[in-house]
Structure 1
Amino acid sequence: MPDMTVVELSRLQFALTALYHFLFVPLTLGLSFLVAIMESVYVMTGRDIWRRMTLFWGTLFGINFAMGVATGIVMEFQFGMNWSYYSHYVGDIFGAPLAIEGLMAFFLEATFIGLFFFGWDKLSKVQHLVVTWLVALGSNFSALWILIANGWMQYPVGATFNPDTMRMEISDFAAVLFNPVAQAKFVHTVSAGYVCGAMFVMAISAWYLLRGRHVHFAKRSMAVAASFGLAASLSVVVLGDESGYVAGENQKMKLAVIEAMWETEPAPAGFTPFALPDQARQRNDYAVHIPWVMGLIGTRSLDTQMPGIKELVQRAEGRIRNGQIAFAALQDLRADRSDEAARQTFQAHWGDMGYGLLLKRYRQDIGNATDAEIAKAAMDTVPRVAPLFWLFRAMAGLGFYFIVFFALAFWYATTHTLDRRRWFLRLAFFSLALPWVAIEAGWIIAEYGRQPWIIDGVLPTFFAASGLKLYEVVLSLIGFVVIYSTLAVIDVYLLRKVILKGPTELAGGHQPHQSGVPLAGKAV
């Protein structure tokens, strides 16, 4: 088993690089569709302002796309560097969606993005519009395959462990592809990306309006972003509810921890909007409880019980004992592959072998684990409660804020009063970072809430790490921090440069004189 310090530093390194990479992914998803919508209006109307909007926001999309590619490719090298046993154990399954993503989605997106920037004078309007939509679709296909891979880590279906090869192998690719967790994560994640893109356009356009610059351009951009953002924010909440329901079906511990629900309650369970969780004592020191609500949301019924953390820990103890049986049978099979009794025993218990492996943290001969060690391993299945509890409420609260924000934006855009609502323009500008806060919180909830598993119920995180030396992980961590910090500075510099230049200078043309006079009565 690797040194736990190495494991924790490897986790930190992957978390930092993934969080940084995920700054670019949602904006890419959102801007790609907004740019495609703007160019569609340009093709239908022939008005040059929509072409300039497409060029301007498309340039910002291109900068963000390049940074996303650079950080994403580097991040994937960590699977072989820091998590080599994970790559060996599930490479046949996890590698397939990643390979398809590269061939089907990333190449599609990367190929057509070149045509988007350099094909304006070489393609007809309709041909260029098709290219732009293909870039947008490529971005979403890329997210689909990544989330299929991640969804399998959350809910490993369509695969079995082969005791002869000591690896997980695909038994049903359709089950992997249509994994309910992956599908729920995909629609929820891309909708969050659309909110991010819409807020980005709203904030930059509000900044222009507050300074009386590019007024016609900014108002039209905000009108598109307001309607797109309203639809996306409504989708995020609805699809987030579906994602939570799926988690309640397949990741009961994660849901119980998010709700700080220590005890199993009679159905339907109550909802706790505020609490002070005390993990050491396994209780909430203070809590505000609303009866029935969580049961209705989490189970969509009045009579389905939601298990609490303590009950789930007890269940884990039973699965750990079954895992001991599976591991012992596996050792017998490795000694004699013709031992049919051992094979049958293994097949009956292999689904719990991952729980047995949790004991490796406390002793190598897990078959001789004491009751105290089994109890410790069972408690390890409980992630940190307080961070997940509050992060979920921050994410959900921001989700409802976005609905109200974009509803107001949509109303002001349709009544042509956006530039008169300076308080709202300031609110839009200062809300720029909020979608990223919500998105990063959601990523932490999904990934940290799965601990101690790198593959839920199958492979403990500490068991999946490479056997690296401490100095090797420290050096690579420092290298990633330096490289990614440099890329962050470059990204901010390029985005700021383009935004300060504005759409007129970027397009190489001259914009008619614009004042701060409201455009009431003019068609958007």
Structure 2
Amino acid sequence: MNEFLDALTLARWQFGLTTLYHFLFVPLTIGLSFLVAILQTAWVRTGKVKYLRLTKLYGKVFLINFAMGVVTGIVQEFQFGMNWSNYSRFVGDIFGAPLAMEGLIAFFLEATFIGLWIFGWDKLPKKVHLATIWATSIATMLSAYFILAANAFMQNPVGYELNPDTQRAELTDIMAVLTNPVALWQFPHTIFASIMFGATVMVAVAAWHLKRNQYVDEMRSSLRFGLWANILAFMGVGLTGHSLGMVMTQTQPMKMAAAEALYENASGADASFSIFSLGTPDGFHEIFSIRIPYLLSFLSNGDFTSEVEGIRNLQSEYTELYCGADSSMLTCPTDGMFMPVIWVTYWAFRWMIGLGAIATLVSIVGLWITRKNRDVPAWAWKVAIWTAPIPMIASLVGWVFTEMGRQPWIVFGVMTTESAVSPGVPGWAVLVSLIVFTLVYGGLAVVEFKLILKAVQAGPPEVDAPEGSEGDDVDHTQLATVY
């Protein structure tokens, strides 16, 4: 019973679940705002009504999702004070800076321009109105950057010094925090992954209507646009992911070792990429694996002969470094273990890559079978529809890998997770809030899904804009009716 009501375990579950739930909405908001801006640009440049109708359709989905993301995101900040007061006290001077920038700069711009976009259809010139959706998209990405910069400090603490009197981390260089190499590569990696999700949603919507032979001209354009966007975004995910992996090897070598189930230091042919691996329950020994020689050296350091540190070697190094006579009580875990849960880290890394590749493979096949207005088999539409959530799931397991792979640290090398929890909050209180959040979020998820489904099934709205129109001669009074 005591283990069931352990405040640390429950607080970790609560923060993990609410974070992943909030992240259901973040990539779709980022991805759709960017793709909607491209669609509206296509309308402004060509005057073709189909692009305007698609802008309206996916713009409505974007707005529904944006509203839900705002609601769920507020809870995240409250949890720092509720369940993680020791962490907030220790790192608040640093963590608060990028979060304040996100709220005061990025979210303010986001809210302002999204309002202008919603209500400006019949009031702003066409090109000015187009600028508002691009500003909204840029603001959503800027918001993501500030959040990722805060998270990057937890992965690779920079720009601070530890005050020995107050035992708090104090900010010394905000630019170092904002230009953290982890953030610089995590940001484009996240943006490309978000575009993948937005693109597959577009593909699914188009497939649903094309299966029923509805809005054929608009939906064929939507389908092809989404397929190409998904493929190109996956290429970006792969390139930035490789660079992020090399940064991770330098800053968190244990995470890379756990991701590959690499138990001993290895280089060259021995530093192999594990396709499949089985290990002992304690995480210290490999039983069986299928590996590709040399590949891990390349993924970790950019060449095929470099050495990659293993789990057991790093465990010994960290024990001496963080649990020695000169170590702080904030740096040595109670059980003395510095490796994450190996099977979670190992498989999350592979699911992240594999799911993204599956979504891209579907897009490649989709481009082939839909070329030159060919007849498409019924099964293809079903596959396209069910592919929609795959990039989202890949992003979720990617975050599981990012955060679980950092354990036992909440700030790598500086503060353990167990020392960050609120000391005065009993387990039963965390359990009650966890249950309440789960029930409320479950209800909100149903509402969100039904609202989006209704908007999608209604199809692109009718608008009064003549084909081939240019400039600001279009009658905008009919364009605000959807909102």
TM-score normalized by the length of structure 1? 0.85
Equivalent-residue separation in structure 2 for 1:97 and 1:245 (angstroms): 24
* Alignment deviations for residues 129-159 of structure 1 (CA, whole Å, 9 cap, x no partner): 0001011111100111000000111000111
Counterpart position of 1:160: 161
Structure 2 CA distance for partners of 1:465 and 1:265, relative to 1, 3 Å:
same
- Cα displacement (A) at 1:420: 2.9
Counterpart position of 1:202: 203
Give structure 1 stretches of 5+ with no counterpart: 328-352, 362-375, 513-524
Does the 8 Å contact 2:163/2:170 carry over to 1? yes
- Cα displacement (A) at 1:425: 2.4
Equivalent-residue separation in structure 2 for 1:285 and 1:400 (angstroms): 28
1:457 counterpart = 2:458: no
Q: Aligned partner of 2:399: which letter?
A: W
* Alignment deviations for residues 170-205 of structure 1 (CA, whole Å, 9 cap, x no partner): 122221111111111111111100000000000111
Equivalent-residue separation in structure 2 for 1:382 and 1:10 (angstroms): 20
1:311 counterpart = 2:267: no
1:86 counterpart = 2:87: yes
- Cα displacement (A) at 1:250: 0.8
Q: Aligned partner of 1:473: which letter?
A: V
Counterpart position of 2:444: 487
- Cα displacement (A) at 1:469: 1.4
Does the 8 Å contact 1:31/1:57 carry over to 2? yes
Equivalent-residue separation in structure 1 for 2:279 and 2:348 (angstroms): 13
Q: 2:386 aligns with which of 417, 430, 448?
A: 430
SS at the partner of 1:256? helix
Equivalent-residue separation in structure 2 for 1:455 and 1:320 (angstroms): 13
Q: 1:301 aligns with which of 299, 303, 306?
A: 303
* Residue-pair matches, total: 463
Counterpart position of 1:349: none
Structure 2 CA distance for partners of 1:279 and 1:160, relative to 1, 3 Å:
farther
Worse-superposed segment, 468-477 or 456-465: 468-477
Q: Aligned partner of 2:236: which letter?
A: S
Counterpart position of 2:342: 385
Give runs of aligned pairs for residues 347-496 of structure 1, distance below 5 A. 354-356=330-332, 358=333, 361=334, 376-377=335-336, 380-411=337-368, 415-417=371-373, 420-467=376-423, 468-496=425-453
Counterpart position of 1:45: 46
Q: Aligned partner of 2:181: which letter?
A: P
Equivalent-residue separation in structure 2 for 1:476 and 1:386 (angstroms): 29
Worse-superposed segment, 199-208 or 416-425: 416-425
Does the 8 Å contact 1:276/1:285 carry over to 2? yes
Q: Aligned partner of 1:278: which letter?
A: T
Q: Aligned partner of 1:484: which letter?
A: Y
Max Rg structure: 1
Counterpart position of 2:140: 139
SS at the partner of 2:6? helix
Q: Aligned partner of 1:31: which letter?
A: L
Q: 1:292 aligns with which of 290, 294, 313?
A: 294
SS at the partner of 1:466? coil
Counterpart position of 2:55: 54
* Alignment deviations for residues 361-382 of structure 1 (CA, whole Å, 9 cap, x no partner): 3xxxxxxxxxxxxxx41xx211
Does the 8 Å contact 1:395/1:442 carry over to 2? yes
Q: Aligned partner of 1:26: which letter?
A: P
Counterpart position of 1:116: 117
Counterpart position of 1:335: none
Does the 8 Å contact 2:321/2:327 carry over to 1? no
- Cα displacement (A) at 1:266: 3.6
Worse-superposed segment, 278-287 or 431-440: 278-287
- Cα displacement (A) at 1:418: 6.3
Does the 8 Å contact 2:295/2:304 carry over to 1? no
Worse-superposed segment, 196-205 or 287-296: 287-296
1:190 counterpart = 2:165: no
Q: Aligned partner of 1:439: which letter?
A: S
* Alignment deviations for residues 92-122 of structure 1 (CA, whole Å, 9 cap, x no partner): 1001000001111111111111111111000
SS at the partner of 1:77? helix
Structure 2 CA distance for partners of 1:321 and 1:492, relative to 1, 3 Å:
closer
Does the 8 Å contact 1:194/1:229 carry over to 2? yes
Equivalent-residue separation in structure 2 for 1:17 and 1:243 (angstroms): 25
* Alignment deviations for residues 318-370 of structure 1 (CA, whole Å, 9 cap, x no partner): 11344x3254xxxxxxxxxxxxxxxxxxxxxxxxx6434x2xx3xxxxxxxxx
Structure 2 CA distance for partners of 1:479 and 1:134, relative to 1, 3 Å:
same
SS at the partner of 1:457? coil
Structure 2 CA distance for partners of 1:221 and 1:440, relative to 1, 3 Å:
same
Counterpart position of 1:350: none
TM-score normalized by the length of structure 2? 0.92
Equivalent-residue separation in structure 2 for 1:299 and 1:69 (angstroms): 38
- Cα displacement (A) at 1:405: 2.7
Give structure 2 stretches of 5+ with no counterpart: 468-483
Counterpart position of 2:242: 241
- Cα displacement (A) at 1:511: 13
Give runs of aligned pairs for residues 264-275 of structure 1, distance below 5 A. 264-267=265-268, 269-275=271-277
- Cα displacement (A) at 1:27: 0.5
Worse-superposed segment, 233-242 or 219-228: 219-228
* Alignment deviations for residues 229-256 of structure 1 (CA, whole Å, 9 cap, x no partner): 2210111111111111111111100000
- Higher-helix-fraction structure: 1
Give runs of aligned pairs for residues 245-260 of structure 1, distance below 5 A. 245-260=246-261
Equivalent-residue separation in structure 1 for 2:126 and 2:369 (angstroms): 31
Give runs of aligned pairs for residues 197-236 of structure 1, distance below 5 A. 197-236=198-237
Equivalent-residue separation in structure 2 for 1:22 and 1:511 (angstroms): 39
Structure 2 CA distance for partners of 1:148 and 1:510, relative to 1, 3 Å:
closer
Structure 2 CA distance for partners of 1:281 and 1:48, relative to 1, 3 Å:
closer
Does the 8 Å contact 1:316/1:355 carry over to 2? no
Equivalent-residue separation in structure 2 for 1:107 and 1:510 (angstroms): 32
SS at the partner of 1:279? coil
Percentage of identical aligned residues: 41
SS at the partner of 2:459? helix
Structure 2 CA distance for partners of 1:419 and 1:133, relative to 1, 3 Å:
farther
* Alignment deviations for residues 463-511 of structure 1 (CA, whole Å, 9 cap, x no partner): 111120122111211221122112111101111111121113xx46799
* Alignment deviations for residues 248-281 of structure 1 (CA, whole Å, 9 cap, x no partner): 1111000000101112224451111111121326
Does the 8 Å contact 2:330/2:419 carry over to 1? no
